Amino acid sequence: MKLDDKLRQFEKLIDSANKILIIQADNPDGDSLGSALALEQILGDMGKETYLYCRVDIPSYLKYLSGWDKVSRDLPKSFDMSIVVDCSSITLLDNSVKNGDINYLKKKPLIVIDHHQIENENLIDFATLQIIEDISATGELIYNMSKKLKYQLNIDAARALAVAIMSDTLGLVAESTTSATIRVIAELVDLDVDLTFLDEARRNLSRKSPELISYKGRLLQRIEFYRNNSIAVITIPWEEIKQYSNAYNPPMLVMDEMRSAEGTMIAIAFKDYQDGHITAKIRCNTSAPIAKMLAEHFNGGGHIYASGFKIGADQKKSLDKIKSECIKYTEELLDNLPKK
Ligand SMILES: [Mn+2]
Protein backbone atom coordinates (compact mmCIF):
# COMPACT_ATOMS: atom_id res chain seq x y z
CA MET A 1 0.00 0.00 0.00
CA LYS A 2 1.25 3.49 -0.85
CA LEU A 3 2.02 6.01 1.90
CA ASP A 4 -0.85 8.27 0.79
CA ASP A 5 -3.35 5.40 1.09
CA LYS A 6 -1.95 4.50 4.49
CA LEU A 7 -2.31 8.10 5.62
CA ARG A 8 -5.94 8.13 4.56
CA GLN A 9 -6.51 5.02 6.66
CA PHE A 10 -4.53 6.58 9.51
CA GLU A 11 -6.78 9.64 9.42
CA LYS A 12 -9.91 7.50 9.53
CA LEU A 13 -8.65 5.50 12.50
CA ILE A 14 -7.71 8.67 14.38
CA ASP A 15 -11.06 10.28 13.59
CA SER A 16 -12.96 7.35 15.05
CA ALA A 17 -10.98 7.24 18.30
CA ASN A 18 -11.13 9.43 21.35
CA LYS A 19 -8.69 7.96 23.84
CA ILE A 20 -5.42 7.03 22.14
CA LEU A 21 -2.63 5.00 23.71
CA ILE A 22 0.92 5.85 22.56
CA ILE A 23 3.32 2.95 23.04
CA GLN A 24 7.10 2.81 23.22
CA ALA A 25 8.68 -0.65 23.05
CA ASP A 26 11.27 -2.17 25.38
CA ASN A 27 14.09 0.05 24.07
CA PRO A 28 13.02 3.66 24.72
CA ASP A 29 15.42 6.23 23.27
CA GLY A 30 15.42 9.86 22.15
CA ASP A 31 13.57 9.02 18.94
CA SER A 32 10.83 6.95 20.58
CA LEU A 33 10.26 9.40 23.44
CA GLY A 34 10.43 12.46 21.15
CA SER A 35 7.98 10.81 18.74
CA ALA A 36 5.61 9.83 21.56
CA LEU A 37 5.66 13.33 23.07
CA ALA A 38 5.11 14.93 19.64
CA LEU A 39 2.11 12.68 18.96
CA GLU A 40 0.76 13.51 22.39
CA GLN A 41 0.83 17.21 21.43
CA ILE A 42 -0.54 16.73 17.90
CA LEU A 43 -3.40 14.48 19.00
CA GLY A 44 -4.04 16.61 22.09
CA ASP A 45 -4.46 19.70 19.89
CA MET A 46 -7.04 17.74 17.91
CA GLY A 47 -9.00 17.23 21.10
CA LYS A 48 -7.98 13.62 21.67
CA GLU A 49 -7.21 12.16 25.06
CA THR A 50 -3.75 10.54 25.08
CA TYR A 51 -1.99 8.07 27.34
CA LEU A 52 1.74 7.23 27.18
CA TYR A 53 2.87 3.67 27.91
CA CYS A 54 6.23 1.88 28.07
CA ARG A 55 7.08 -1.27 30.05
CA VAL A 56 10.70 -0.16 30.50
CA ASP A 57 11.75 2.83 32.62
CA ILE A 58 12.71 5.92 30.63
CA PRO A 59 16.55 6.13 30.74
CA SER A 60 17.81 8.93 32.98
CA TYR A 61 19.60 10.75 30.13
CA LEU A 62 16.18 11.44 28.56
CA LYS A 63 14.64 12.94 31.67
CA TYR A 64 15.51 16.48 30.61
CA LEU A 65 12.65 16.20 28.09
CA SER A 66 9.58 17.66 29.72
CA GLY A 67 6.73 15.20 29.70
CA TRP A 68 8.86 12.05 30.15
CA ASP A 69 7.22 11.50 33.55
CA LYS A 70 3.82 11.04 31.94
CA VAL A 71 4.99 7.72 30.51
CA SER A 72 3.39 4.91 32.50
CA ARG A 73 4.36 1.25 32.93
CA ASP A 74 0.71 0.28 33.18
CA LEU A 75 -2.07 0.24 30.64
CA PRO A 76 -5.09 2.54 31.16
CA LYS A 77 -8.45 1.04 32.15
CA SER A 78 -9.88 1.88 28.75
CA PHE A 79 -8.72 3.18 25.38
CA ASP A 80 -9.99 3.25 21.79
CA MET A 81 -6.84 2.55 19.82
CA SER A 82 -3.07 2.47 20.18
CA ILE A 83 -0.03 3.67 18.23
CA VAL A 84 3.36 1.99 18.58
CA VAL A 85 6.19 4.40 17.77
CA ASP A 86 9.75 3.58 16.68
CA CYS A 87 9.25 -0.18 16.75
CA SER A 88 7.73 -2.62 14.28
CA SER A 89 9.03 -5.81 15.83
CA ILE A 90 7.02 -7.99 18.17
CA THR A 91 10.28 -9.12 19.80
CA LEU A 92 10.73 -5.60 21.19
CA LEU A 93 7.36 -5.79 22.93
CA ASP A 94 8.45 -8.81 24.90
CA ASN A 95 7.69 -7.28 28.30
CA SER A 96 4.10 -6.62 27.24
CA VAL A 97 3.84 -10.13 25.84
CA LYS A 98 5.17 -11.67 29.05
CA ASN A 99 2.83 -9.80 31.38
CA GLY A 100 -0.20 -10.31 29.16
CA ASP A 101 -0.73 -6.61 28.26
CA ILE A 102 -0.49 -7.61 24.61
CA ASN A 103 -3.82 -9.46 24.73
CA TYR A 104 -5.49 -6.27 25.88
CA LEU A 105 -3.78 -4.30 23.07
CA LYS A 106 -5.00 -6.79 20.47
CA LYS A 107 -8.62 -5.95 21.29
CA LYS A 108 -8.43 -2.46 19.75
CA PRO A 109 -7.02 -1.07 16.49
CA LEU A 110 -3.24 -0.70 16.61
CA ILE A 111 -1.07 1.43 14.31
CA VAL A 112 2.69 1.00 13.91
CA ILE A 113 4.80 4.04 12.98
CA ASP A 114 8.44 3.12 12.45
CA HIS A 115 11.55 3.52 10.32
CA HIS A 116 13.25 0.14 10.83
CA GLN A 117 13.28 -2.44 8.07
CA ILE A 118 12.90 -5.82 9.74
CA GLU A 119 12.22 -9.45 8.83
CA ASN A 120 8.55 -10.04 8.00
CA GLU A 121 8.26 -12.84 10.54
CA ASN A 122 8.96 -10.40 13.37
CA LEU A 123 6.34 -7.83 12.35
CA ILE A 124 3.50 -7.09 14.75
CA ASP A 125 1.07 -9.20 12.74
CA PHE A 126 -2.10 -8.07 14.49
CA ALA A 127 -1.49 -4.38 13.67
CA THR A 128 -4.37 -2.69 11.84
CA LEU A 129 -1.99 -0.44 9.94
CA GLN A 130 1.81 -0.38 9.55
CA ILE A 131 3.42 2.85 8.44
CA ILE A 132 7.07 1.93 8.02
CA GLU A 133 9.41 4.11 5.97
CA ASP A 134 13.15 3.64 5.58
CA ILE A 135 14.29 7.07 6.80
CA SER A 136 16.48 8.51 9.55
CA ALA A 137 14.06 8.55 12.46
CA THR A 138 10.46 7.99 13.47
CA GLY A 139 10.50 11.70 14.26
CA GLU A 140 11.19 12.47 10.60
CA LEU A 141 8.33 10.16 9.55
CA ILE A 142 5.86 11.79 11.95
CA TYR A 143 6.88 15.20 10.61
CA ASN A 144 6.25 14.05 7.03
CA MET A 145 2.91 12.52 8.00
CA SER A 146 1.80 15.68 9.83
CA LYS A 147 2.72 17.79 6.83
CA LYS A 148 0.75 15.63 4.40
CA LEU A 149 -2.23 15.43 6.74
CA LYS A 150 -2.00 19.19 7.42
CA TYR A 151 -1.78 18.62 11.18
CA GLN A 152 -0.60 21.67 13.11
CA LEU A 153 2.65 21.35 15.04
CA ASN A 154 2.84 23.47 18.18
CA ILE A 155 6.27 24.44 19.51
CA ASP A 156 6.42 21.50 21.94
CA ALA A 157 5.62 19.04 19.15
CA ALA A 158 8.20 20.67 16.88
CA ARG A 159 10.86 20.49 19.60
CA ALA A 160 10.06 16.87 20.43
CA LEU A 161 10.40 15.91 16.75
CA ALA A 162 13.71 17.80 16.51
CA VAL A 163 15.03 15.85 19.52
CA ALA A 164 13.83 12.58 17.98
CA ILE A 165 15.69 13.29 14.75
CA MET A 166 18.84 14.62 16.47
CA SER A 167 18.89 11.51 18.63
CA ASP A 168 18.72 8.89 15.87
CA THR A 169 21.02 10.79 13.50
CA LEU A 170 23.59 11.48 16.27
CA GLY A 171 23.22 15.19 15.52
CA LEU A 172 22.65 14.87 11.75
CA VAL A 173 25.88 12.97 11.07
CA ALA A 174 24.73 9.34 10.98
CA GLU A 175 24.72 7.62 7.59
CA SER A 176 20.90 7.59 7.61
CA THR A 177 20.79 11.41 7.45
CA THR A 178 19.61 12.66 4.05
CA SER A 179 19.07 16.11 2.61
CA ALA A 180 15.37 15.54 3.32
CA THR A 181 16.21 15.00 7.01
CA ILE A 182 18.09 18.28 7.10
CA ARG A 183 15.19 19.99 5.32
CA VAL A 184 12.83 18.73 8.04
CA ILE A 185 15.11 20.25 10.68
CA ALA A 186 15.13 23.51 8.68
CA GLU A 187 11.33 23.51 8.64
CA LEU A 188 11.26 22.83 12.38
CA VAL A 189 13.51 25.87 12.80
CA ASP A 190 10.90 27.79 10.78
CA LEU A 191 8.43 26.66 13.44
CA ASP A 192 10.61 28.43 16.05
CA VAL A 193 12.77 25.56 17.27
CA ASP A 194 16.00 27.47 17.87
CA LEU A 195 19.51 26.24 17.21
CA THR A 196 20.55 26.69 20.84
CA PHE A 197 17.81 24.23 21.75
CA LEU A 198 19.09 21.75 19.14
CA ASP A 199 22.64 22.07 20.41
CA GLU A 200 21.46 21.57 23.96
CA ALA A 201 19.44 18.54 22.88
CA ARG A 202 22.54 17.00 21.31
CA ARG A 203 24.54 17.64 24.49
CA ASN A 204 21.82 16.34 26.78
CA LEU A 205 21.37 13.20 24.73
CA SER A 206 25.03 12.33 25.23
CA ARG A 207 25.13 13.16 28.94
CA LYS A 208 26.73 10.42 31.05
CA SER A 209 27.24 9.65 34.72
CA PRO A 210 30.63 10.61 36.22
CA GLU A 211 31.25 6.88 36.72
CA LEU A 212 30.85 6.27 32.98
CA ILE A 213 33.12 9.17 32.12
CA SER A 214 35.82 7.75 34.35
CA TYR A 215 35.34 4.30 32.75
CA LYS A 216 35.61 5.93 29.33
CA GLY A 217 38.99 7.33 30.45
CA ARG A 218 40.19 3.83 31.29
CA LEU A 219 38.97 2.51 27.95
CA LEU A 220 40.76 5.30 26.07
CA GLN A 221 44.03 4.21 27.71
CA ARG A 222 43.49 0.64 26.56
CA ILE A 223 43.05 1.36 22.84
CA GLU A 224 45.60 -0.61 20.83
CA PHE A 225 46.85 0.58 17.46
CA TYR A 226 48.18 -1.60 14.65
CA ARG A 227 49.57 -1.17 11.12
CA ASN A 228 50.90 2.38 11.58
CA ASN A 229 47.82 3.36 13.58
CA SER A 230 45.45 2.50 10.72
CA ILE A 231 43.70 -0.13 12.89
CA ALA A 232 42.38 0.73 16.37
CA VAL A 233 41.22 -2.08 18.66
CA ILE A 234 39.54 -2.22 22.05
CA THR A 235 38.51 -5.31 24.01
CA ILE A 236 35.83 -5.40 26.67
CA PRO A 237 36.03 -8.25 29.20
CA TRP A 238 32.93 -9.85 30.71
CA GLU A 239 33.25 -8.06 34.09
CA GLU A 240 32.90 -4.70 32.31
CA ILE A 241 30.09 -5.87 30.03
CA LYS A 242 28.24 -6.92 33.16
CA GLN A 243 28.98 -3.75 35.11
CA TYR A 244 28.32 -1.09 32.47
CA SER A 245 26.02 -2.45 29.77
CA ASN A 246 22.84 -1.36 31.49
CA ALA A 247 24.06 2.23 31.51
CA TYR A 248 25.86 2.28 28.16
CA ASN A 249 27.21 -0.07 25.52
CA PRO A 250 30.95 0.08 26.44
CA PRO A 251 32.47 0.15 22.91
CA MET A 252 30.27 3.09 21.95
CA LEU A 253 32.00 5.18 24.61
CA VAL A 254 35.23 5.18 22.60
CA MET A 255 34.53 4.14 18.99
CA ASP A 256 34.45 7.77 17.84
CA GLU A 257 37.78 8.63 19.46
CA MET A 258 39.31 5.44 18.05
CA ARG A 259 38.30 6.49 14.55
CA SER A 260 39.50 10.03 14.96
CA ALA A 261 43.12 9.17 15.76
CA GLU A 262 45.56 10.37 13.10
CA GLY A 263 45.92 7.73 10.42
CA THR A 264 43.21 5.45 11.78
CA MET A 265 40.96 3.93 9.14
CA ILE A 266 39.08 1.28 11.09
CA ALA A 267 37.96 0.72 14.69
CA ILE A 268 37.19 -2.73 16.02
CA ALA A 269 35.69 -3.49 19.45
CA PHE A 270 35.61 -7.02 20.83
CA LYS A 271 33.35 -8.14 23.65
CA ASP A 272 34.30 -11.32 25.46
CA TYR A 273 31.24 -12.92 27.07
CA GLN A 274 31.16 -15.22 30.07
CA ASP A 275 29.60 -18.13 28.17
CA GLY A 276 32.48 -18.10 25.65
CA HIS A 277 30.90 -16.22 22.76
CA ILE A 278 32.65 -13.18 21.34
CA THR A 279 31.26 -10.25 19.38
CA ALA A 280 33.01 -7.67 17.24
CA LYS A 281 31.70 -4.24 16.32
CA ILE A 282 33.37 -2.65 13.30
CA ARG A 283 33.34 0.99 12.18
CA CYS A 284 35.30 2.31 9.20
CA ASN A 285 36.24 5.73 7.97
CA THR A 286 35.38 6.64 4.38
CA SER A 287 38.98 5.99 3.33
CA ALA A 288 38.51 2.26 4.01
CA PRO A 289 35.04 0.89 3.19
CA ILE A 290 35.90 -2.66 4.32
CA ALA A 291 33.53 -3.23 7.26
CA LYS A 292 31.18 -5.49 5.33
CA MET A 293 33.97 -7.63 3.84
CA LEU A 294 35.67 -8.02 7.18
CA ALA A 295 32.47 -9.03 8.97
CA GLU A 296 31.46 -11.47 6.26
CA HIS A 297 34.84 -13.19 6.53
CA PHE A 298 33.74 -14.13 10.07
CA ASN A 299 30.15 -14.94 9.01
CA GLY A 300 28.79 -11.60 10.16
CA GLY A 301 27.28 -8.80 8.14
CA GLY A 302 26.51 -5.12 7.80
CA HIS A 303 27.35 -2.15 5.63
CA ILE A 304 30.62 -0.93 4.13
CA TYR A 305 31.22 1.45 7.03
CA ALA A 306 29.45 -0.30 9.92
CA SER A 307 29.23 -4.02 10.59
CA GLY A 308 29.73 -6.76 13.14
CA PHE A 309 30.12 -10.45 13.72
CA LYS A 310 29.63 -13.02 16.44
CA ILE A 311 31.70 -16.09 17.20
CA GLY A 312 29.61 -18.71 18.99
CA ALA A 313 30.77 -20.37 22.19
CA ASP A 314 30.57 -23.71 20.34
CA GLN A 315 33.58 -22.68 18.23
CA LYS A 316 35.70 -22.67 21.41
CA LYS A 317 37.99 -19.91 20.15
CA SER A 318 39.83 -17.65 22.57
CA LEU A 319 39.59 -13.88 22.32
CA ASP A 320 43.33 -13.69 21.57
CA LYS A 321 42.96 -16.04 18.63
CA ILE A 322 39.92 -14.23 17.15
CA LYS A 323 41.58 -10.90 17.69
CA SER A 324 44.81 -11.82 15.92
CA GLU A 325 42.91 -13.48 13.04
CA CYS A 326 40.76 -10.38 12.69
CA ILE A 327 43.69 -7.95 12.75
CA LYS A 328 45.58 -10.08 10.22
CA TYR A 329 42.65 -10.13 7.81
CA THR A 330 42.03 -6.40 8.31
CA GLU A 331 45.68 -5.73 7.41
CA GLU A 332 45.21 -7.76 4.24
CA LEU A 333 42.07 -5.84 3.30
CA LEU A 334 43.77 -2.51 3.93
CA ASP A 335 46.87 -3.57 1.96
CA ASN A 336 44.59 -4.37 -0.97
CA LEU A 337 42.54 -1.20 -0.98
CA PRO A 338 42.40 0.26 -4.47
CA LYS A 339 44.96 3.07 -4.77
CA LYS A 340 43.31 6.44 -5.20
MN1 LIG B 1 14.38 5.36 15.87
Ligand 1 centroid from CA 86, angstroms = 5
Among residues 88, 87, 83, the alpha carbon closest in space to that of 105 is found at 83
Among residues 116, 192, 145, the alpha carbon closest in space to that of 43 is found at 145
How high is the pLDDT of residue 207? 81
Residue 208's identity, in one-letter code, is K
The alpha-carbon radius of gyration of the chain (Å, integer) is 22
Q: What is the pLDDT of residues 226-267, one digit of tens each?
A: 999 999 999 999 999 999 987 888 999 999 999 999 999 999
**Residues in the chain with pLDDT values less than 50:** none
Q: State the Cα–Cα distance between residues 312 and 282, nearest whole angstrom.
A: 17
Mean pLDDT over each residue of the chain, to the nearest integer: 93
How high is the pLDDT of residue 340? 63
How high is the pLDDT of residue 122? 85
Q: What is the pLDDT of residues 139-190, one digit of tens each?
A: 999 999 999 999 999 999 999 999 999 999 988 988 899 999 999 999 999 9
Counting Cα atoms < 13 Å in the Cβ hemisphere of 112 gives 24
Q: State the Cα–Cα distance between residues 35 and 160, nearest whole angstrom.
A: 7
How high is the pLDDT of residue 334? 97
Sign of the C-alpha dihedral computed for residues 287, 289, 294 and 297 taken in this order: negative
Ligand 1 centroid from CA 90, angstroms = 15
pTM of the model: 0.76
Ligand 1 centroid from CA 168, angstroms = 6
96 burial class (0-12, 13-18, 19+ CB within 10 angstroms)? buried
Ligand 1 centroid from CA 229, angstroms = 34
Residue 196's identity, in one-letter code, is T
Q: Which residues are paired to 113 by β-bridges?
A: 85, 131
Q: State the Cα–Cα distance between residues 282 and 179, nearest whole angstrom.
A: 26
Domains of the chain (ranges, CATH numbers): 3-205 (3.90.1640.10), 213-335 (3.10.310.30)
Maximal C-alpha separation, the chain:
65
Ligand 1 centroid from CA 35, angstroms = 9
How high is the pLDDT of residue 249? 87
Ligand 1 centroid from CA 130, angstroms = 15
Contact status, residue 46 vs residue 153, Cβ threshold 8 Å: no
Q: State the Cα–Cα distance between residues 41 and 38, nearest whole angstrom.
A: 5
Q: Residue 60: how many CB atoms within 10 A of its CB?
A: 12
